[in-house]
A and B are shown apart, each in its own frame.
Chain A
Amino acid sequence: MLAAAAVLAAAVLVFRLRPSDAPPPPTIQRGGQIVASVRAEPRSFNRFVSRDQVTELLTILTQGRLARINRATYELEPWLAEKWESSADGRTHTLHLRSGVTWSDGAPFTSADVLFSFQAVFDGKARSVIASSLTVGGQPIRARAPDPQTVVLTYAAPSGPGLRLLDNLPILPKHKLEAALAGGTFASAWNASTPPADIVGTGPFIVREYQPGQRVVLDRNPRYWRRAEDGSALPYLDRIVLEIIPEQNAELLRLQAGELDLTSSELRPEDYVPVREAEDQGRLRLIELGVGPDADAFWFCLKPEVKGKNPLFAVVQRREFRQAISHAVDRDAFVETVFLGAAVPAWGPVTPGNPQWFWPDVPRYAHDDELAGRLLDDLGLRKRDPSGVRKTAEGVEARFTVLTQRGIGWYERGAAVLRDELMRIGIVLDIVPLEFGALIERLLACDYDAVYYRPLATDLDPAGNLDFWLSSGSAHLWNIGQRTPASEWERRIDTLMLEQAASLDFERRLQQFNLVQQILAENVPVLYFAAPRLYYAHSPRLRGVVPTVQRPPVLWNADRLGVTR
């Protein structure tokens, strides 16, 4: 009996130990190259002067930050700074730099480079595009260096995101750029005509060659400081080639043909079928990244200075009007027809793709045409004649011009679905798809009735998106750049958001932000319908892929990518 039990236990043990049950940690071979595509040229190799996607990607590949937000876990990780201490009031942070780090040209990395980077961000002439993301309480972050391995940062006010702000700041080499900053040529330093050898960094790769209009070739940085868990040197890859392919169809063709290992962006819903077929044939790997962090948005211009004379403005300004529209849209059907089902219904700007800040209990408006009709009736917008179009008591038709961007399938489809949905409750929409430049001009001037568009949040942390939340913000979609809040609820959001951004207690920040989301949902200045589910494809020979819904979906982790031969 005892023996039998022992045999059984041994069998269980043996069974447990079978390798297929506990997969070995993935070992990635050193060497090899991958080819990735980007849609445009880099505008600069200097992230301080350009915010375009390619410059950002090149910065991730070639430069280091003091601390990095892991794009998959959303955790703040030590990077060039090895460890840090923060004071209790959250205003002073002492960072200890990693020792032994060198620039790719062999020069040692010290606190002087950090000080130089802060100086460059806030230099008056250089006009850095990242300055606003490193401003706390209206003041620049101040940095001083007691010794070459230590940096002390002082915030003018407590900051909710705290050191997470440092993810926005690539550290640039003082010895290469000092002269340019002093000479006032910092903005054009490190552009396409700079010899690649001058573009040094602390990132996993170095620029080997830039062939304008064609590609950027990045080679392994032999002096990269990071090591894998087993102590082997990173990055695994010898080379990353960024091919510039402006046209998305050609990009997909070259991915399918195996000329590319990965692309710059997620797949369009239409591309799902061919990529799925290619996966079945073993030519590609299709991955679902998850729900994207940005939802689509539909909003009316609520700027009284511009729209005050419009006879419909009195109605549009009432939250009941916007609530009625929210009730009239069947979000489940919207997801199906506009995104071919590859989306989830959305009720606010924060989607499940932002798990830290997403609030599932945000107020919702059930699809209910009758209720929508009653709300509109109460506002005096009634169906007064057989045309079925609602009119005000003065006889003005409820007719709005909706702008959207031309040439993007789901924008035009979404606007058309909206038109059909609102037609049923007696509101007429005229859809005008505009080309990007023309659309933006009208958006900024509030020269429109309504817009269907997908604004991208600049940061997952709400404190990084104050330009959207604050009534004075440049991305406060429905009424940009107000001097004083136009409504009571906008004032409340302002107060809550400023408090939230300066709070150190995450739980409290979360509570306050939930309240903000609730106020927004109750007043519906912007209507959200769906957040797309993102799909991505890469070649099957790629190893070490940790996908994320943030951009770049795979290359953020470039130092741990490898290929099979």
Chain B
Amino acid sequence: MIAFLARRLLFAFALVIVVSSSALLLTRLAPGDVTAQLGPFAPAAEVAGTRARFDLDRGAAEQWLRWSSRAARFDFGDSFLYNRPVRELLGGAAVNTAVLAAAALLVATALGIPLGMLSGSGGAGAGLIRGVSLVCLSAPPLLTSLLFVFLAATTRWFPAGGMTSVDALDGGWSTWLTDVAAHLPVPALALALPIAATFERLQAQSMAEALEQPFIVAAAARGVAPRDIIVRHAWRVSLRPICGVYGIAVGALLSGSFVVEFVTAWPGLGRLTYEALRARDIYLVAGCAAAGGAFLAAGSLVGDLLLAAADPRVREQGAP
């Protein structure tokens, strides 16, 4: 088990390096650079100064070398957009995104998996559940996020955006917590619904397949109560595909969704990444990619562990 974890850690580390390096190089390859942010027709001296500050006047390979040797000392360079070290920016944003991701994952799991079990076993309202899921999958995230902001703004049930409100400025920890909790529902729901729909569809399919398995049919023939069949036997078997995708969902959620965070003004990683990409803020792009890589590796590990827990056959075979 320890060897397994050590190997995965090593892989995760390699993934972070490869991903952030390729992000850096891709930023160089993409047309335009960060100096466009100075304005379309900035004075030449200013453009040259900014290029020099970000090593953009050097070759891509040289820039990568200088950047990686600094990164080895945990200095990931400065962000142009924020005029601060990338490291400082990533920490705060990652925490905010983690809060949002945890809430969204909770909602998505709590909604998607039970509903999938229900619709997969042909229970009441299966058609309705399927229909709602497909609506959630067909709507562009931009529209769903805007819709939630719109609903929040018109009903005034929740704040329509942001993570805290200015009134909580002088409050203590408990004020801060309730304030954040009040701001969570809008972005968390916008983020969770498509994922819940994905879980629901996957769970419904594999539940339906699990119910065809001989041992389930046999149990039904023996007269085991239907609810026991679904909850005790079929569910466990039906979890495999969900586990495979769960890791990706965790990783993707932790890297942040730029559309949702952008529209609901949530100060997280997704928004940071999007702004960095748009502005070609090269070191911030690399930093965000590194964070994304780390989270995905973590998510994928969680997924694999879940898979092993759900299906003993895989565990015995030796992966973890």
Q: Residues of A at under 8 Å CB distance from B?
A: 35, 40-41, 43-44, 49-52, 127, 129, 132, 187-188, 191-193, 208-209, 211-215, 217, 241, 243-247, 249-250, 253-254, 256-257, 259, 435-444, 453, 455, 467-468, 474-475, 477, 480-481
Contact = CB atoms under 8 A, between A and B. Distances in A.
Contact of A215 (B81, B84, B160, B166): B166
Contact of A474 (B30, B44, B268, B280): B44
Contacts of A474: 41-44
Contact of A256 (B146, B153, B272, B278): B153
Contacts, number: 142
B280 A437 contact: yes
A212 B40 contact: no
B36 A35 contact: no
Given A129-B46, A214-B265, A247-B263, A440 B166 contact: no
Contact of B93 (A35, A213, A215, A241): A213
Given A211-B164, A254-B161, A437-B278, 11 more contacts: A41-B82, A43-B82, A51-B38, A132-B43, A213-B92, A250-B161, A257-B153, A259-B159, A439-B32, A443-B40, A455-B41
B114 interface: no
B271 interface: yes
A438 B166 contact: no
Nearest to A442: B31
Contact of A246 (B32, B96, B163, B265): B265
Interface string B271-302: 11001001110000000000000000000000
B267 interface: yes
A372 B229 CA distance: 81
A373 B53 CA distance: 51
A246 B271 contact: yes
Interface residues on B, range: 35 or more
B244 interface: no
B15 to A, nearest CB: 27
Given A245-B265, A246-B262, A436 B278 contact: yes
14 contacts: A191-B83, A211-B267, A212-B89, A214-B163, A214-B164, A214-B265, A245-B162, A245-B265, A246-B271, A254-B160, A254-B161, A437-B36, A453-B40, A474-B44
Shortest 6 CB-CB contacts between residues of A and residues of B: A213-B267, A437-B32, A475-B41, A257-B153, A440-B36, A438-B31
A51 B268 CA distance: 25
Contacts of A191: 82-84
B162 A243 contact: yes
Contacts of A244: 265, 267
A50 B162 contact: no
A249 B278 CA distance: 19
B138 interface: no
A441 B160 contact: no
B214 interface: no
Contact of B153 (A212, A214, A254): A254
A249 B159 CA distance: 15
A37 to B, nearest CB: 9
Interface string B156-189: 1001111110100100000000000000000000
B148 to A, nearest CB: 10
- Could you say which of A44, A259, A439 has the most chain B C-beta atoms within 10 Å of its C-beta? A259
B228 interface: no
A43 B279 CA distance: 13
Given A51-B38, A246-B262, A253 B83 contact: no
Contacts of A442: 31
A401 B96 CA distance: 44
Contacts of B38: 51, 129
A253 B92 contact: no
Nearest to A52: B37
Contact of B43 (A256, A436, A467): A467
Nearest to A43: B83
A257 B262 CA distance: 19
Nearest to A191: B83
A247 B89 CA distance: 20
A135 B141 CA distance: 49
B317 interface: no
Contact of A253 (B39, B153, B262): B153
B88 interface: yes
Nearest to A436: B36
A191 B31 CA distance: 29
Contacts of B156: 257
A51 B50 CA distance: 13
A241 to B, nearest CB: 5
A215 B162 contact: yes
B18 to A, nearest CB: 24
A54 to B, nearest CB: 11
A40 to B, nearest CB: 8
B268 to A, nearest CB: 8
A129 B83 CA distance: 14
B104 to A, nearest CB: 18
Given A188-B83, A259-B153, A440-B36, A212 B44 contact: no
Nearest to B265: A245
Contacts of A467: 41, 43
B160 A481 contact: no
Contacts of A214: 162-164, 265, 267
Contacts of A256: 153
A215 B169 CA distance: 11
A217 B33 contact: no
B134 to A, nearest CB: 25
B41 A209 contact: no
Given A213-B271, A245-B161, A437-B32, A50 B83 contact: yes
Contacts of A209: 169
Contacts of B30: 437-438
B23 interface: no
B48 to A, nearest CB: 10
